[in-house]
Every structure is written in structure tokens, then in C-alpha cells.
Amino acid sequence: MTSHPAHPTRRPRTAVALLTAAALILASLNPAQSAAAQDSRSRTAKPTVVLVHGAWADASSWSRIVARLQAGGYPVRAIANPLRSLSGDAASVRAFLETLTGPVVLVGHSYGGAVITNAATGNASVKALVYVNAFAPDAGESATQLAGPDSALSVPDPTAVFDLVPPTLPPAADTDLYLKTSTVLASFATGLSLDDKAIVAATQRPATVGALNEPSGAPAWRTIPSWNVIGTKDRIIPPGVQRAMAKRAGSTVVEYDAGHVGLMTAPRTVTYVIEQAARASVR
């Protein structure tokens, strides 16, 4: 007699289909459980961090921060700030924010702080604001006004610290302001190596006179929680000015031993504060 090898028992396809259908039906009968799972996922998802640079810089100034945030699993976008006018720059950032889904942590450095203050107003997706050596103006205030007389840029003769394009005096609202190399070395990029300072001076993007002097609109920090990273050696926005703005906004404050470009010289501290704000935003 010829024997045949035993075959493993196979479940009929109809039975598999029935079991699958039953599972789907049971899931549909418990929508609360499904909604709870979705809600849990939304709470644990990391917010998108949007980084806005200031005057005399570009998005590459955030490079060391971007690398650390990405290593921590955060979606990050370091975007271009036009530096043409406060209202126009804020509108540009606001339009970008509208392309994103989910919660956002919006971060601004220097003049970029004034931009995020205006761009986030009325945007429910922005859950936290982080100011890094930055302006946090109230309605009607400008960056130049807030910097005050102790700023290295507040001098009677603007040509002592700026190169004007065109070089016509008095400057107009659309006059481009470049920092003189001497200003970058002595005041703006303190804490960097001489080679890195030279790169900052060579690659800077100008801001217009109008952008730095345009009054701010209604501030987003009145309704959105904020964090403020204050450089105690900042010569562009004096620490006392930063502290006053942070106190007014009710910000969580972290002070660090850094100059104006602390995002480049102390990226670990700045990243820590951004992550702190991000964790608080999804609780």
C-alpha cells in the first residue's frame, strides 16, 4: 500500500474571511476604543518645530539645532525669513504654517522673535513660542525701539556699524543694512572662532531699515505659552531688555552664558529649551 505524506491542516478561506469580518465588526462596535487609540497617538506625536532666523543670518544659522532635534525624532523646518518688512515677513511665515498639520512649536532668533510674535497670532496650531536672544514686542513696538540705547547697534551715526545699500543718507525704509565686519567680530558673533565669525560676516543677509523700525501688531505671546532663552553676554539685545520682555510675556526663562548667536555657540542649551516647550505643548 502506498502511503501519502501528511499535510498540515489548512483553515478554509471562508473561515478566515469570516474571522476578519467579525474583527472589523467588533472594532466598529467600539468606536470609543478606536478614538482613544487615535487620541493617544496624537498626544505622543512630536510637534513640528519651525525655526525662524533673524537679521544678518539665514536658515543655516540653525544647523546645529536642526541636527539635534532631528536626532530626537522631531520634524523640523528652518525656513527663510525675507527680512523686508515686519508685516510682510510675518505673513510669509504665517503662510508656511498653514501648510503644516498637527501642533507646531515656533522658534525665533533675534528679529525672528518679532516675526513669530506676529505670525502666530490667531493660529491655533502653534502651541508654544520659543524666543532665542530675541525680540518679543508688544503692539506698537519695533525692534529698534526695544533694543534701546545699550545695544551695540544703537549709535548716532548708522554708518559706524552698518554698510548701507544704497549708501544714501538719510536711509530710506527700503535701504538694506549689512553689518560691518568689525561689528560682526566685536558685537554680533561673539563666542565663535575667528574663522566662523568671518563666515558670518561674508554670508549675512541684510534687513531693511523699515523691517527693524515697523511697529508690531497684536502679540501671539498673550495667548500662547512662551519660553525665553536669554544670553547673558548679548551685545545686540541687552540681557536686561530680554528679561523685561520675557517677564511681560510670562515666559519660562532660561539664561545661558552666551552672546547674541547662542544658537550657534551653545546649541545644546537652546535645543533643550525647545524640547522642553515641545513636551509641554503635547501634554
**Does a structural domain hold residue 22?**
no
The strand order across the sheet containing 252-256 reads 76-79, 48-52, 104-110, 126-134, 226-231, 252-256
**Does a structural domain hold residue 222?**
yes
Q: Give dist(CA 69, CA 85) in Å, integer.
A: 29
Residue 166: how many other CB atoms lie within 10 Å:
10
Residue 193: how many other CB atoms lie within 10 Å:
10
Q: Give all strands (DSSP E) within 104-143, no chain letters.
A: 104-110, 126-134
| Element spanning 32, H or E | helix 31-44
* Tens place of pLDDT per residue across the chain (283 aa): 444 444 444 444 444 443 344 343 333 435 444 444 444 444 458 999 999 999 999 999 999 999 999 999 999 999 999 999 999 999 999 999 999 999 999 999 999 999 999 999 999 999 999 999 999 999 999 999 999 999 999 999 999 999 999 999 999 999 999 999 999 999 999 999 999 999 999 999 999 999 999 999 999 999 999 999 999 999 999 999 999 999 999 999 999 999 999 999 999 999 999 999 999 998 8
How many folded domains does the chain comprise?
1
**Does a structural domain hold residue 179?**
no
**Does a structural domain hold residue 97?**
yes
**Does a structural domain hold residue 20?**
no
Asked whether the beta carbons of 280 and 128 are under 8 A apart, the reply is: yes
pLDDT at residue 282, as a whole number = 86
* Phi, psi dihedrals of residue 134, rounded to the nearest 5°: -130, 160
Q: Structure pTM?
A: 0.85
**Does a structural domain hold residue 13?**
no
**Does a structural domain hold residue 228?**
yes
| Element spanning 165, H or E | strand 162-165
Q: Which three cell numbers stand for residue 32?
A: 470609543
In DSSP terms, 178 is beta-bridged to 163
**Does a structural domain hold residue 120?**
yes
Asked whether the beta carbons of 258 and 235 are under 8 A apart, the reply is: no
The boundaries of the domain holding residue 102 are: 47-147+210-281
CATH assignment at residue 220: 3.40.50.1820
